[in-house]
Structure 1
Amino acid sequence: MRLRALVLAAATLAALSCPAATATPALASTGTSGVTGVTGAATGRAACSPSTDIQRFSDTLDKTVFGGVPVAEISGLAVDRDHRLLAVADESHLFTLDAGARRVESVQALADGQGLPLDSEAVAVDRDGTRLVASETEPSVARFSRSGAFLGRLAAPDALRVAPAGRAVRNQTFEGLALLPGDRTLVASMEGALTGDGADVRRLQTWTRGSAHGGFRPARQYAVRADAGLTVSDITATPDGRLLVVERGFTAGVGNTVRLQLVDLRHASDVGGVARVDGASGVRFARKTLLADVADCPSLGATSAQPQPNPLLDNIEGVTVTGRTRDGRLRLLMVSDDNQSAGQKTRLYSLTTRLPRR
């Protein structure tokens, strides 16, 4: 959603600091500051928390244009099957980035079966290369071929539809999308609460299929509690089937709050048939663990045109896992949405994190 700032720039961090055990692209270092460079810690540990470090940030794609399309309003990231990066923009465009996230290689306009654009917020890639794109309007998950042809959509359960058809609030619906390991379970996260739920409740809808290439069917629905005043801006799957969740908020005159959370759906209740989910409803919420508050990361020399608790911060909306380090840490890429505003940036963030044991 166009909240404050999200960026897309893709990078599949290969060898930023720790040597990578898997062959993944690296966020290229082209400078030390400014909108055309990449900034990072030259040596030592750039710790955001005991579990999470930041290696680099890049403003290289900020305020650029490809094929007449602004590389802007990026709200979701995914690694394609060929290890290149996909970045989806609110204005119904899907960008392909080179593995080093230095440049855009192509762009596709996204449209539904009637030729209408999507309010596209997140992207995932199926085993056969099909693009799965969360559309916030209905909401739904649209399916596209690698060439951009519309293949159909996965509808949301009635309660998750925008009022008056359902209980969702406009611009507070599907904001995150993740395909779990094995490619048989798809998860979409609601940005905000349903009418009637507790203000901090965020529902997670799943679809499953019986075989790797079968059709998705609506399945269990879960609930997680967001930190006070924050929304869920994206999710991505970890190799062990948990979810990395970006919670994000904005306060005028203060700036952004962005927290990286780890969510475990095991043992959580199926709330698909629960009309009201809150602290008194007796449901088991998904377990959530804070990995890092981005405000606590070293600034790495970043600058901001607006007030921020840390000038590194912006309106971060996208996250994806890009590989592992040799010692088992996950490599992550996050992106912020510039909203095509002079005061915000399309900024890429390269991090590593060590997950706690389940």
Structure 2
Amino acid sequence: MRMRSVLATVTAGLAAATCVTAAAPADAHSGKAPGVHACSPAVSITSYSDVLDKTTYDGTFVGNLSALAVDRGGRIAALSDRSSLFTLDRETLKPTSVVNLVDEKGAALDSEGLAVDLPHSRLRSSGGTPTGTRLVTSETEPSVRRYERDGTLVGSLPVPDALKVAPAGRATSNLTFEGLTLLPGGRTLLAAMEGSLSGDTAGIVRFQTWDRATRQGDFRLSAQYGYRTDAGLGVSEAQATPDGRLLVLERGFTAGVGNTVRLYLADLRHATDTRRVDTLTGQEGVRLARKTLLADLVNCPSLGARAKQPQPNPLLDNIEGLTITGRAPDGRLQLLLVSDDNQNAVQTTRLYSLSVRLPHTVILND
């Protein structure tokens, strides 16, 4: 299915599995206070929780978390970049299970992006067969693999040669598929590159899509789009909104200063399909995705959070994961974010609950 037709269809609400908001647990390592805590006119923070920081579950370190997704029953799937996939209780946010993921040779992954392929009514009526499997990216090649709920490897998706890590392609190691999301209806999958390809202008990254065949659950390569990040930042996550736009997390780190984390809304509807454009330089005739800043998270109230290393706001850390957990009565989207502590003593595994009011239009940022 063409991306333009997907984005033209406005979904009335989130799927039933995403109608429950994950609540941060009340403990000594969380911050929550009554009232609205604005980060910007569009974004406010409800709470944060450090309940997972430097903990273990069933002998597995609970950290290195790079992606979140809503699973059946509103539970949260949390992906570690060390090949562990946790299920978190939607209320306490504590682990209830963990599975180990490996590649075709039994080796661990640099697992960064996650989407849970939950059933969608449109797919059922048209013959599609989503099974609740997990779609997981690895930055190593990069790759997108499909796993059963028990961690059994089912298969993998094709990846364009140009997006492969050099010398096989033009990508830089550790700067490949960082974000992964299914668009409304479940027929289109999108993976976001963290960094630029060799030959592309620095800061312009590629978003690759796959379309699901009508009568089977497989995905085939489809359109590709360019997206320009802010100077010095890379894409750490992309999450489809109910109307088919994208929430994009841009993140960077400066030693002695700390993290920069910005939340953007991106719109691909008028962007050029770049799969046949060899180099992206911002040239005339190639339209990049439009984006508008929703919030720079440095401006969020700290809610009493503490940082283990210098940060411009002690609330901030290495935020990498984002999922939409529901919608408030006033129409705001409810988000859950997570930071990757890299199993480092001076970083924190922190969960953040945000609410976002989406603008009706997207303003182009030059």
What TM-score, normalized by structure 2, do the two folds share?
0.89
Matched, 1:269 2:272: yes
* Contact residue 166 and residue 172 of structure 2 kept, 8 A: yes
* Contact residue 59 and residue 345 of structure 1 kept, 8 A: yes
Matched, 1:64 2:55: yes
1:240 corresponding residue in structure 2:
243
1:50 corresponding residue in structure 2:
41
Note the 1:72-83 alignment, pairs <5 A: 72-83=63-74
Deviation at 1:26, TM superposition (A): 3.2
Alpha-carbon separation, structure 2, partners of 1:350 and 1:214 = 33
- Kindly report the root-mean-square deviation, in angstroms, between the aligned alpha carbons of the 2 structures: 1.2
Note the 1:240-319 alignment, pairs <5 A: 240-280=243-283, 282-319=285-322
Amino acid of the residue matched to residue 176 of structure 1?
G
Give unmatched runs, 5+ long, in structure 1.
Answer: 1-21
What percentage of aligned pairs have identical amino acids?
60
Give unmatched runs, 5+ long, in structure 2.
Answer: 1-17, 119-130, 362-366
Amino acid of the residue matched to residue 28 of structure 1?
A
2:87 corresponding residue in structure 1:
96
Alpha-carbon separation, structure 2, partners of 1:148 and 1:322 = 23
Alpha-carbon separation, structure 1, partners of 2:280 and 2:142 = 20
2:96 counterpart (105, 108, 112): 105
Deviation at 1:86, TM superposition (A): 0.4
Amino acid of the residue matched to residue 347 of structure 1?
R
Matched, 1:119 2:121: no
Alpha-carbon separation, structure 2, partners of 1:344 and 1:352 = 24
Alpha-carbon separation, structure 1, partners of 2:61 and 2:41 = 37
Alpha-carbon separation, structure 1, partners of 2:335 and 2:329 = 14
The CA deviation string for residues 277-297 of structure 1, in whole angstroms up to 9 with x for no partner, is 012253100010110010000
Deviation at 1:116, TM superposition (A): 1.5
1:26 counterpart (22, 28, 49): 22
2:10 corresponding residue in structure 1:
none
* Contact residue 183 and residue 212 of structure 1 kept, 8 A: no
* Contact residue 146 and residue 156 of structure 2 kept, 8 A: yes
1:39 counterpart (27, 31, 53): 31
Deviation at 1:43, TM superposition (A): 2.0
Match of 1:259, SS state, is strand
Alpha-carbon separation, structure 2, partners of 1:149 and 1:331 = 31
1:206 counterpart (209, 221, 241): 209
* Contact residue 85 and residue 101 of structure 1 kept, 8 A: no
* Contact residue 213 and residue 220 of structure 2 kept, 8 A: no
2:340 corresponding residue in structure 1:
337
Match of 1:177, SS state, is strand
What TM-score, normalized by structure 1, do the two folds share?
0.91
Alpha-carbon separation, structure 2, partners of 1:165 and 1:281 = 29
Match of 1:341, SS state, is coil
Match of 1:159, SS state, is helix
The CA deviation string for residues 259-280 of structure 1, in whole angstroms up to 9 with x for no partner, is 0011111010011111110122
The CA deviation string for residues 128-162 of structure 1, in whole angstroms up to 9 with x for no partner, is 20100011111110100112110011121000000
* Contact residue 29 and residue 39 of structure 1 kept, 8 A: no
Deviation at 1:52, TM superposition (A): 0.4
2:356 corresponding residue in structure 1:
353
The CA deviation string for residues 171-220 of structure 1, in whole angstroms up to 9 with x for no partner, is 00000000001000000000000000010101000000232743100000
Matched, 1:146 2:146: no
Deviation at 1:118, TM superposition (A): 1.1
2:11 corresponding residue in structure 1:
none
Match of 1:317, SS state, is strand
Match of 2:270, SS state, is coil
Alpha-carbon separation, structure 1, partners of 2:281 and 2:19 = 44
Match of 1:26, SS state, is coil
* Contact residue 24 and residue 48 of structure 2 kept, 8 A: no
